[in-house]
Amino acid sequence: MGAAVYDEAADGFSSGAPRPGNAVLARQLFQPAERWGWVHQQPVVPAEGFTEPEPAWTALDTSNIERFKGWRRSARQGAVRRTGVGLALIGGGWLAPSVAPHVGVWSPIAVAAGAVLSVGPFLGPSVLIWAARVRNLLLRYRFGQEHKRWESRRRQHEFWQQQRHAQRPTWEPITPGQTTRVDVIGGTGHGWASLVTTMGASLVAEGTSITVVDLSEERVGGGLAMFAAGLGYPVQQVDLPDSLGQLDLLDNLTPAGVAELIAHAVYTLPTAGTRTDHRALHRDLIRAVVDELGEKVTWSRLVAGLMVLRRVHTLVSAELPLSKEEIRAITAKIDLVGSSERVSEQVQYLTAVLSPLAERDTSASAASSGSTIGEVRMWPPRGVTVVATGGTHESTREMLDALLVRRLVIDLSVHERAGAPSVLILAGADHLGLATIEAVAKQAQRVGVRVVLLLAHLRDDLRKLLGTGDGATVLMRLGNAHDAKEAAEFIGRHHTFVLSQITDTVGKSFSDSQSTSQGSSDSTGRSEGTSTAKTRAAFQAMASGYSSSTQDSVTTSRAQTWQDTVSTTSSESTSTGTTRSRVYEFQVEPTKIQSLPHTAFILVEHGRDGRRVVAGDCNPGIGLLPQVLFNPEQD
């Protein structure tokens, strides 16, 4: 059997020789703690703030400088008088020895006193001001150095926080709860191989015995077997029908058990169309042959007995693997089973479906030559067992699938639970129907064997498997639209607020008006008046005066007016509105399920904390990435 090699480009496994990098990957994957894949999460690291307070700058006390400046201003007010006196003392002290030698001893004192009196009032405050300013500069320098050291410690703290954040795992393992059955719905050959490898490696590292029954022709257990063998774990691999002699499906069965095995397998064939009464007849026909074969029941001997039952054994040129006594005993039962046309047809049908197995049966020749037949234990105490069916003839493969799964049910019914836990991975059993799959799951659950079912589709009755029992469900890529919709319905719906309506309103209005008015008016007015005046002088005797006037006026006026008015109005308006509605929609849209990557999956299970829906990736190559967590307890 060719080994399977992980291919990162294909997100799965391909046939070929082991690569050097596989040893590193195997050591990473075979770490105890069950995991089915990983989920990528942004690491959340509790922030540890820098608790050291920032150095605070305290305002400098400049009152001394102001006081010293006040002293210097006071010294400047009497500067002329003090300078004159000082210069006089200096001059007197300088000239005194030459004028009066007996006072020469006081000359240095007079010069010093004059110098102090002239310069001291200015120099003293200036020196004090300079000293105060130098002190302030030193304080500023010390504060700057202290703040730099604090800033350095703060940056170092942030650096270590970033390093701590960078060292946190971004890929965390996903593990179903303590379930006895896990149904994997959908997926491709690459995805199944990756899931089996990632999950199986962690279980084998814990000491679990894993049996992979691969009916998918996708070699889903090849990667796990290759990695396990590379690390020294016991590995058994069988390809059927090529290695039919290594796995004897008829071993340790009573004649009644052999008859029931074959009759039930034929009954469940998808292309058989067998009736219930045919199943009972098949059981009787097989039993009639097996009862006379003793303990040496092989496929070739069984088919030879059916040929005897049909009375065609004499027409075969090759020597039958039966003794003369066995032939006579089987021939004696011809009348017992009947020779009707119905019986003859069913014997012929059984011979046809079992002949391909007899052609590949090496157990008869090995037994006759006395050599040891390689035996494969379906339930080893530890390690990995991979049994895969295939072949170019679909009818032969379907018969092998039915026989193998039925033998699983029989073995599980008498299975004695060992100390180490066991896991059965059944891949590609869709075509065997719901009843057969549930029979396997029921028997496994009864004896404490955990079952993982890999089903490619959700057709017909297989939809009833979703959510049954206490198991978990893993959904992988489902390309069929109906299957994807069923899976989305199973994941569930939830209420969300979505943008349902956007309204944009734009308006513009115009108005234009014009008016003209014209008018004229004529008016005529006339006024008449008469005035009389008399005058007399008081001191002029007999002197007087008299005057009279008449006034007549006519006024005529004419006015004409006109007016033109034009009015124009323009207005624009714009409004935008959005509406959000509460909707009940899929948590995962069917189109998302249809376009999942090969190794992506969605885990749905019920636990103590309620329903859990989480997306992950089972790509084994993730184990080579940095920041990957393999055991949740190490977090």
Q: Which tens digit of pLDDT belongs to each residue from 191-223?
A: 999 999 999 999 999 999 999 999 998 899 999
Q: Which tens digit of pLDDT belongs to each residue from 295-337?
A: 888 888 999 888 888 887 665 656 778 888 888 888 888 878 7
Residue 15, pLDDT > 50, answer no
Q: Which tens digit of pLDDT belongs to each residue from 438-447?
A: 899 889 888 8
Say what the pLDDT of residue 542 is: 46
Judged by DSSP in three states, 550 sits in: strand
* Cα–Cα distance measured from residue 206 to residue 30, given in angstroms and rounded to the nearest whole number: 9
What does residue 555 show for φ and ψ, rounded to 5 degrees? -120, 130
Task: Please give the order of strands across the beta sheet that includes 235-240.
Answer: 171-174, 37-40, 610-617, 600-607, 472-475, 181-185, 450-455, 422-427, 209-214, 384-389, 235-240
Say what the pLDDT of residue 171 is: 85
Q: Which tens digit of pLDDT belongs to each residue from 144-157?
A: 888 898 888 888 87
Query: For the residues 604-613, what does the mean pLDDT come to?
Result: 82
Q: Which tens digit of pLDDT belongs to each residue from 460-496?
A: 778 887 877 677 899 999 999 999 999 899 888 877 7
Question: Of 43-47, 78-82, 496-500, which one has max mean pLDDT?
Answer: 496-500
- CA 208-214-220 angle, 5° bins: 75
**Which band of pLDDT confidence, cut at 50, 70 and 90, is reported for residue 175?**
confident
User: Is 37:198 a contact under the CB 8 Å cutoff?
Assistant: yes
Say what the pLDDT of residue 71 is: 65
- 1-43+169-241+386-490+607-635: CATH topology: Rossmann fold (3.40.50)
Say what the pLDDT of residue 494 is: 77
More confident residue, 557 or 603: 603
Domain boundaries, the chain: 1-43+169-241+386-490+607-635, 63-167, 248-374
Question: Which of 37-51, 392-406, 470-484, 605-619 is predicted least confidently?
Answer: 37-51
Say what the pLDDT of residue 16 is: 41
Cβ atoms within 10 Å of 224's Cβ, excluding its own: 30
Residue 532, pLDDT > 90, answer no
Say what the pLDDT of residue 80 is: 53
- Name which of 474, 485, 488, 606 is nearest 184 in CA terms: 474
